[in-house]
Amino acid sequence: MDVTALPRRPVADCTAAEVAAALNAGFEGYLVPVRIDAPGYERRFRGEDLDPFSSYLFGPPGRPAGVMLVARRGWTARIASLGVAPDWRGRGLGRHALDLAAAEARMRGDHALLLEVFEQNTRALALYERLGFRRLRRLYGHRREPVRPEAVAGAAALRPADPLSLSRALLRAGEGADLPWMLQPETLAKAAHPFRALALAGEPEGQAPLALLRDPGTEAMLLTALFVPPDRRGLGLGRRLLAALAAAYPGRPWLIPQIVPEGPLDAFLLATGWTRQALNQFDMRLDL
C-alpha cells in the first residue's frame, strides 16, 4: 500500500489511550525502551506544547502504522515524536510524515522545524539530513552513581520550591532563548506533580539555586533541570546543590535525560562526578 494513501487522523480526534498505543507500537525495538500510558502521554506532550491538530496517527483505528506529534511555539514547530510500527518501516512513512509536517509549517508561515535524534540512530539521522535538517549541537544525558554517605556528610539542607520558579528564574536571567526545547522556560513552566523543585535552604528567595526532579519509582532519580543565578555562579553553589540532592536521596543513582547541550553545563556535570550516557542526541533544524 502506498503510504500516501494511508488514512490519517489528527490527534485531536483520538483518545489519549489511542495515541499512547501508537507510540508504543511506533517505538517497538527502539534504541531505548519506550512504554507510555495515557496519563504519561498527556503529562509529557501537553507540557511540550503539542498541537493536536498538526499531529497525526497514520493507519486505520486500532491498527496504527505510525504516529507523528508536532509541538509549536510562535514561528517554530518541532517534531516531538515520530514512530513507525515495525510492519511499516522502510516503506517511506517517516519521510511522508516529515514532508507533511514541513508543508503544513510552511503554510502557517513558520520559520523553522526542529527535531532531536539519537546520533546512534544512523538511518533516521541520514533521512533527516537528506531532507535538509542541519545539526545544531549535541545533547548529552548523564548518570551519577550513588554517593557514599560520608562524602556528603554535612551537606546543605533543601527546601521545597514552586516548580514554576525555575521557569521564572530562567526568564529573569534572559537565558531561555537558545536552550533546547525541553529546557526552555515554556517547557519548564508546565512542570507540576509528580515533578518537584528543591532549593538550597537559607538562600534568599529569587537567588537560590534550584533543581527540578522526579522520583519515577525505579532505581534512579531523574534530574531534569538545574539552575544557579548568573551573578552567583563560580561560588560553589551548584556543587552544594548536587551534594544536598545526593544526601536527600541516599543510595539512589541519578539520571539526566539527553537534553544537556554541549558546553558549560555538560562540563560542570563531568567535573562533579557525573558520566555521560552511552547514547546522545543531535538537536536539528530545518529552515523553512
| pLDDT tens digit sequence for 189-200 | 999 999 999 999
One-letter amino acid for residue 72 of the chain? R
Mean pLDDT of the chain: 95
Q: Which domain holds residue 70?
A: 3-110
pLDDT at residue number 208: 94
- On the question of pLDDT at 1 being above 80, the answer is no
Residues 12 and 104 in one domain: yes
90 and 164 in a common domain: no
Residue 264 lies in a domain: no
Split at pLDDT 50, 70, 90, the class of 217 is: confident
Q: What is the CATH number of the domain that holds 21?
A: 3.40.630.30
Asked whether residue 201 is domain-assigned, the answer is yes
The residues pairing with 118 across neighbouring beta strands, listed in sequence order, are: 281
Q: Is the pLDDT of residue 236 over 80?
A: yes
Mean pLDDT on 65-72: 98
Whether the pLDDT of residue 286 is over 90: the answer is yes
205: phi > 0 → left, psi -120 to 50 → alpha, else beta; which? beta
Strands 76-84 and 112-118, sheet pairing: parallel
Output the DSSP codes for 20-40: HHHHHHHTTT-SS-----HHH
The CATH code of the domain that includes 176 is 3.40.630
The distance of Cα 163 from the centroid of its chain, to the nearest Å, equals: 16
Judge if 82 and 159 occupy the same domain. Answer: no
157 and 82 in a single domain? The answer is no
Confidence label for 51 from pLDDT (cuts 50, 70 and 90): very high
**Whether residues 104 and 168 fall in one domain:** no
Residue 281 is assigned to a structural domain of this protein: no
Q: What is the mean pLDDT of residues 74-78?
A: 98
β-pair partners for 57: 9, 67
Would residue 97 count as lying in a domain? yes
pTM of the model: 0.94
261 in any annotated domain: no
Extract the C-alpha cell encoding 1: 500500500
* Residues 162-178 pLDDT 10s: 999 999 999 999 988 88
Structural domain count, the chain: 2
The mean pLDDT value for 104-127 works out to 97
